[in-house]
A and B are shown apart, each in its own frame.
Chain A
């Protein structure tokens, strides 16, 4: 996927390039098949995200033990597990906030012992946080535009003086931010301070801030925690759109199994820092180890699974 987020063109990635329509239908089909095979081959060589034998210990406590995880391009991948299973630790390792005790993280062809957090955006990775991490003192529009902060190549003097380069990038970023705000139906609140909005709306603003950079890989940390049922429906639609329209590969950490099963292509289950199951939602739901793990912990988790 192209990393340029300028103008309206990028938003409509799902549209076919115009020259396709001129060609005959057979050739078009050939092209499509070819492209799919190509993509599959690429996926095997370069998964959007690969975790190899990740272990993490805090003092003597093992938060994660030998976790492998492979996320294919264009997939919605859920990681679920009871409280304390190590889900958030896993995400913090992927975003470089923790350094794994052992193991490696792979984005495309790059492999890391510790992911350089400062270069995350440059690698096309964005994330949201379990508890909101918005900039309360900025408007919604400015919050979303912050997602493109790394694109500003002009120094502060050129920004003050309004040099052409600074003005052009500022303009591009603002346009991209406004587009994403429209995409997530935030137009009505674009000039409000982020801290003054209801929780569910703030979650959407955070999603917008992550999406504005058109990430290749989007990490969502409990996106559905603490939002109402209606907001859950809406948010999961936005997550699906992020993949379908913007072409992002999505990894989401979730506690609430109900939403995840309908949304994800594949689900990995963590318990006590180990991966105990990995597969399609149906496979995972039927897995005895998963049922045991969930029955063994908090009661509401078990009922959630039953639903």
Chain B
């Protein structure tokens, strides 16, 4: 797992070291992973959800613009990449991925326009329009799914030049590479003037305006970057993880899942996006194992799903009240308790 610091108080050398260790471990997992199950059902969805969470975190955590339309941009990315592959023969895969992200970004910018006038709850409701509109359009117009009656698309085999990524391990490596590159680029963006503008707009919009931060451009940039990242995550979701997707898979539940990842993991933290994604992926697996061990037969899939909803709902409430900065804040606190001298104290 790539560990990425979100705050500038970390010393760059230590941070670079941790990122390096994270990347080496992430690539080193492949030969060690005993089963395709681990790669296919745990690690790949973890990476894809983490990238989507990074995308939403740029918009909601850093720039302070609440969005409930993440799944729509996943869907746009997936269907755009599918159609580009289908209709533009010979288009290289990476170009396809980037263009699909670009299309998601363009649609994200359109749906970001109301953000100049609406904030908070009202903006969140207006992003729901994206959620419903995209799902409706993909179901309504057969063109998007090449006239499949239920809107299902099948992913092509991933191929860059003569290298194909067909097995679980190869698709994991493909996803990992894209997620690592995009996360590092996002980190650079957040540390630039544009990234500071995001936080300024979030923390005090009027002061930002008076200083000369271009509000509309900053907000639309946040929407664009966020939708791009989520769109690329959508391509990975469809091409590298599930390989067969339908519009119904990108419903409001998926949007909420990504929102919960960043709330539980930590708003305005890239590391938090990864920790939150890991939690959301691993937690149901743990719960089913534990439930089965403790309750035996009674703990069937229905009970599992219900208890999952209950526990995650409760956790959201607990985090919002007790630790709005999420798991990553707990992690940082535990870490500084272990090594008090190494970190500059930030009193809370």
Contact = CB atoms under 8 A, between A and B. Distances in A.
A152 B211 contact: no
Given A142-B8, A166-B192, A196-B348, A149 B207 contact: no
Nearest to B187: A160
Interface string B191-234: 01110110110111011111111110000010001000000000
Contacts of A133: 204, 206-207
A249 B225 CA distance: 40
Contacts of B193: 149, 152, 159, 166, 169-170, 173
B202 A137 contact: yes
Interface string A138-164: 110010011101101000100110100
B206 A97 contact: yes
Contact of B213 (A127, A146, A156, A193): A146
B194 A135 contact: no
Interface string A190-232: 0111001000000000000100010000000000000000000
Interface string A106-122: 00000000000111111
A250 interface: no
B196 A146 contact: yes
B313 to A, nearest CB: 27
B210 A127 contact: yes
A149 B189 contact: no
Contact of A135 (B189, B199, B221, B347): B199
A203 to B, nearest CB: 14
A192 B203 contact: no
B196 A145 contact: yes
A159 B192 contact: yes
A134 B209 contact: no
A136 interface: yes
A58 B230 CA distance: 44
B347 A156 contact: no
Contacts of B202: 137
Given A147-B211, A149-B211, A209-B211, A191 B204 contact: no
B283 to A, nearest CB: 28
B203 A138 contact: yes
A129 interface: yes
A191 B211 contact: no
Interface string B226-261: 000000000000000000000000000000000000
B188 interface: yes
Contacts of A95: 210
B123 interface: no
B166 to A, nearest CB: 32
Contact of A120 (B194, B203, B212, B221): B212
Given A97-B206, A135-B200, 19 more contacts: A118-B209, A121-B210, A137-B202, A137-B203, A138-B200, A142-B196, A142-B199, A146-B200, A146-B211, A149-B196, A149-B212, A149-B213, A152-B194, A156-B221, A159-B194, A160-B188, A173-B193, A192-B346, A196-B348
Nearest first, the 9 A-B pairs at minimum CB distance are A150-B212, A121-B212, A159-B192, A133-B207, A135-B203, A152-B193, A156-B194, A133-B204, A135-B200
Interface of B: 8-9, 185, 188-189, 192-194, 196-197, 199-200, 202-204, 206-215, 221, 225, 268, 344, 346-348
